Structure 1
């Protein structure tokens, strides 16, 4: 008797029964579920969904686990209601490249130094599955504070902490105040001598063993002597399921123009955007990375356009 195989089979049956019950309770069809997943950027075949429901197979790998998270939401289940039934899997599946998100070699060297100073290995062995970055802009039109919520995942072995960095290419800044909001605590801080890279080591509440996930949240407050900054964004070193950059403007500082910048190891794409219709602008990408997604804004005519 193979005890491990028996345990895995029982686990698969538990998962299949829970999925089947949730589908019947909604009630929805597999074809409806597949269409909804496709709309969210998760392409799962009907055959795969049928295998999962019958217990012939179970979700394994990052892409399947990402789809499973959406299935829980679509079926009105609690977070983890299905995925917790798959605890014994240790696969992450195909991850794609892990690359420095922008094409600046000197900046990457500074980031490597920051990782080492924080006691973290480079490249990081965690990845962000879903990240929502929200920035508030003050009455002077400059960034005032931000808060970031992310579902992070261990891709190799067990991790206990993740480095989070504030990067300002070409601009020397004082250290902003990074703070842990939920999911862990700040175990170490570092500022690179060039002033372009500041970071913290975010120690997780619970160690993560691949491919487990956790929800973390951290905030950034920018000091009064911080240089004028009229751009905000977020960078990922591996492909993320979803990246949202939401910028909220003070009512007295609605910009006259905005631009979306998408930067990858291959280069930068700049897309002019219409002026905000309200008091905020949001950018969203699915299956994004490695790269950086950012919003730039200003008042009066664009600097690169006449009068």
Structure 2
């Protein structure tokens, strides 16, 4: 591993050990160790901790977390195998995950409400929506296409997701969008391909919009499907310039691509990509992104752990290191 990449990886790991979540810390610790998942499994077995490859993969990707007594013992062995201090992983697990309807608040070790602050509207939005697919769907890829007009204001956001069913009889998923400058009138969600829009909930004060996407067929375990939808009417009244876009991942995803389309006549002076463990955490992996001749900039990330991936830009000289947050788009349970 190159020294620069190794140094950045260990800095990210140190931050994850302090801030969590469990899945991100485990993922980074495995990367830093240089061990394959099979080698980690074998080392655990040598210590008497029998954990399957599938279970380790789910822990690493944030699709499940250790809760049974034997799993918690295995986590302590994991700390030893990966060269972590005692409690670096086990200390991030906290109390047993809540069950029932309240479980929709927590995803893969990240509490969505805590990440944004306490929003009663979030609970109100999801009340009555079917949370099926929260962990029963694996997000294989997500493509966001975010377009701005010549006035530097938002035009539309379209999202294409490829998902795989991990259980039988899945017919829908729920998506969540949040704007920090709530538009008036409310934004409109339109299904483009592979789905139709079901129930929609809007919390105007906090800027949350939640919607069901109904698949065009019922999925069985192992089936994949592609859903493509669009949000329009995003700009607030009065409209304001937009200087960033980010997506919050409460669970791991295999691949994420963000395409921002600027009007060719009005392109920013500079763009940078960034990542965060939570919305309030410091930026990591900051680097410049080229704006092409057609006005397009993009970010691509693979094996994305829970957290934030975004792109921000400066319309003039001097990029503000901490711009006022205007808009974010996360997937929901």
SS at match of 2:182: coil
Cα distance 1:172–1:122, how it changes in 2: closer, same or farther (>3 A)?
Answer: farther
| Partner residue, 2:211 | 200
| Partner residue, 1:219 | 230
Q: Retained in 1: the 8 A contact 2:269–2:317?
A: yes
SS at match of 1:194: coil
CA distance in 1: counterparts of 2:134 and 2:258, whole angstroms: 23
- Output one character per residue of 1:252-285: Cα deviation in whole Å (capped at 9) or x when no partner: 1100122323232382415252562431111011
| Partner residue, 1:28 | none
- Residue range with higher mean Cα deviation, 288-297 or 227-236: 227-236
1:264 to 277, 286, 295: 277
CA distance in 2: counterparts of 1:291 and 1:216, whole angstroms: 22
How far off is 1:198 after superposition?
A: 0.9
SS at match of 2:127: helix
Cα distance 1:213–1:237, how it changes in 2: closer, same or farther (>3 A)?
Answer: farther
Structure 2's unaligned 5+ residue stretches are: 1-35, 39-52, 64-107, 322-333
SS at match of 2:283: strand
How far off is 1:165 after superposition?
A: 1.6
Cα distance 1:222–1:264, how it changes in 2: closer, same or farther (>3 A)?
Answer: farther
Q: TM-score, normalised by structure 2?
A: 0.57
| Partner residue, 1:172 | 182
Q: Retained in 2: the 8 A contact 1:143–1:230?
A: no
Q: Retained in 2: the 8 A contact 1:246–1:280?
A: yes
CA distance in 2: counterparts of 1:132 and 1:201, whole angstroms: 18
2:252 to 231, 239, 257: 239
Cα distance 1:184–1:208, how it changes in 2: closer, same or farther (>3 A)?
Answer: same
Equivalence map 1:132-211=2 (5 Å): 132-168=143-179, 170-174=180-184, 175-211=186-222
- Output one character per residue of 1:110-142: Cα deviation in whole Å (capped at 9) or x when no partner: 434322243435955423211111111110112
CA distance in 2: counterparts of 1:112 and 1:122, whole angstroms: 18
Q: Retained in 2: the 8 A contact 1:128–1:236?
A: no
CA distance in 1: counterparts of 2:171 and 2:133, whole angstroms: 15
- Output one character per residue of 1:157-202: Cα deviation in whole Å (capped at 9) or x when no partner: 532111112112x433342111111111111111014241012110
- Residue range with higher mean Cα deviation, 270-279 or 293-302: 270-279
Cα distance 1:157–1:138, how it changes in 2: closer, same or farther (>3 A)?
Answer: same
The answer to whether residue 276 in structure 2 is matched with residue 276 in structure 1 is: no
| Partner residue, 2:313 | 297
Q: Retained in 2: the 8 A contact 1:139–1:252?
A: yes
Structure 1's unaligned 5+ residue stretches are: 1-42, 46-59, 65-91
| Partner residue, 1:103 | 115
SS at match of 1:171: coil
SS at match of 2:118: helix
CA distance in 2: counterparts of 1:137 and 1:261, whole angstroms: 20
How many aligned residue pairs are there?
A: 220
SS at match of 2:115: coil
Q: CA RMSD in A?
A: 3.2
The answer to whether residue 92 in structure 2 is matched with residue 126 in structure 1 is: no
Q: Retained in 1: the 8 A contact 2:313–2:319?
A: no
